[in-house]
A and B are shown apart, each in its own frame.
Chain A
Amino acid sequence: MTTWHIAGAQPLGGEPVDIVISDGIISAILPTGSTPATNSTLIEARGLIALPGLVDLHTHLREPGREDAETVESGCRAAALGGFTAVHAMANTDPVADSAGVVEQVWRLGQTAGLCDVHPVGAVTVGLQGERLAEIGAMADSAARVRIFSDDGHCVNDALLMRRALEYTKAFDGVVAQHAQEKRLTEGAQMHEGVVSSRLGLTGWPAVAEEAIIARDVLLAEHVDGRLHVCHVSTAGSVEIIRHAKARGVKVTAEVTPHHLMLTDDLVETYDPVYKVNPPLRTARDVVALRAALADGTIDAVATDHAPHPSESKDCEWAAASMGMLGLETALSVVIETMVNTGLMGWADVADRMSIRPARIGGLQGQGRPLAVGEPANLVLVDAGATWVVDPAAMASRSRNTPYRALTLPGRVVATIFRGRPTVLEGRLA
Chain B
Amino acid sequence: MTRHLLSCEDLTAEDAILILDTAKRLGELSTGPMRKLPTLRGRTVVNLFFEDSTRTRISFEAAAKRLSADVINFAAKGSSVEKGESLKDTAMTLEAMGADAVVIRHPASGAPYRLANAGWIGGSVINAGDGTHAHPTQALLDAYTMRDHLRGGTGDLQGLRVCIVGDILHSRVARSNVSLLTTLGADVTLVAPPTLLPIGVEEWPAKISYSLDDHLPETDALMMLRVQNERMNSAYFPSAREYSRRYGLTASRMSRMPEHSIVLHPGPINRGMEIASEVADSPRAVIIEQVRNGVITRMAVLYLLLGGSESGLGDLVDEEATA
Contact = CB atoms under 8 A, between A and B. Distances in A.
Given A194-B200, A198-B203, A201-B133, A317 B117 contact: no
Contact of B108 (A193, A196, A272, A319): A319
A317 B80 contact: yes
Nearest to B168: A198
A318 B109 contact: yes
A318 B108 CA distance: 7
Interface string A184-200: 00010010011111111
Contact of A319 (B109, B113, B118): B109
Contact of B198 (A197, A270, A315, A320): A197
A271 interface: yes
B175 A318 contact: no
A83 interface: no
A257 B175 CA distance: 33
Nearest to A273: B114
B200 A320 contact: no
Contacts of B131: 201-202, 319
Interface string B93-126: 0000000000000111111011001100000000
A206 B114 contact: no
A32 to B, nearest CB: 51
Interface in B132-181: 132-134, 172, 175
Nearest to B198: A198
Interface in B53-101: 79-81, 86-88
A312 interface: yes
Contact of B109 (A201, A206, A315): A201
A307 B65 CA distance: 48
Q: How large is the interface on B (under 10, 10 to 19, 20 to 34, 35 or more residues)?
A: 20 to 34
A201 B134 contact: yes
Given A195-B203, A200-B110, A316 B87 contact: yes
Contact of B79 (A194, A270, A312, A317): A317
Interface string B169-208: 0001001000000000000000000000011110110000
A197 B200 contact: yes
A199 B79 contact: no
Interface centre among B110, B118, B131, B199 (most CB of A within 10 A): B110
A204 B198 contact: yes
A200 B109 contact: yes
A152 to B, nearest CB: 24
A206 B110 CA distance: 20
Nearest to A196: B200
Interface in B198-229: 198-201, 203-204
Contacts of B203: 195, 198
Nearest to A204: B199
A271 B7 CA distance: 13
Given A200-B133, A201-B134, A315-B118, A320 B108 contact: yes
A197 B175 CA distance: 12
A318 B134 contact: no
B304 to A, nearest CB: 24
Nearest to B107: A319
B110 A320 contact: no
Nearest to A318: B110
Given A316-B87, A320-B79, A193 B200 contact: yes
A270 to B, nearest CB: 7
B175 A201 contact: yes
Contacts of A197: 198-200
A270 B132 CA distance: 16
Given A270-B117, A317-B111, A319-B81, A195 B132 contact: no
Contacts of B107: 319
A193 B199 contact: yes
Interface in A271-292: 271-272
Nearest to B169: A198
A199 B201 CA distance: 8
Contacts of A315: 86, 88, 118
B181 to A, nearest CB: 15
Contacts of B87: 316-317, 320
A197 B117 CA distance: 20
B199 A317 contact: no
B125 to A, nearest CB: 13
Contacts of B86: 312, 315-316, 320
B199 A194 contact: yes
Contacts of A318: 108-111, 114
A241 to B, nearest CB: 20
Contacts of A195: 200, 203
Contacts of A312: 86
Interface in A293-324: 312, 315-320
Nearest to A197: B200
Contact of A206 (B108, B117, B199): B199
Contacts of B199: 193-194, 197-198, 204, 206
Given A271-B113, A317-B110, A198 B204 contact: yes
B199 to A, nearest CB: 5
A263 B81 CA distance: 26
A198 B110 CA distance: 13
Given A271-B110, A319-B108, A198 B200 contact: yes
Interface centre among A187, A206, A319 (most CB of B within 10 A): A319
A312 B251 CA distance: 53
A271 to B, nearest CB: 3
22 contacts: A187-B234, A195-B200, A198-B199, A198-B203, A199-B200, A201-B110, A201-B130, A202-B132, A203-B132, A204-B198, A206-B199, A271-B109, A271-B114, A312-B86, A317-B80, A317-B87, A317-B111, A318-B108, A318-B110, A318-B114, A319-B108, A319-B109
Given A197-B200, A198-B201, A318-B108, 11 more contacts: A194-B200, A198-B198, A200-B110, A201-B109, A206-B199, A315-B118, A317-B81, A318-B111, A318-B114, A319-B108, A320-B79
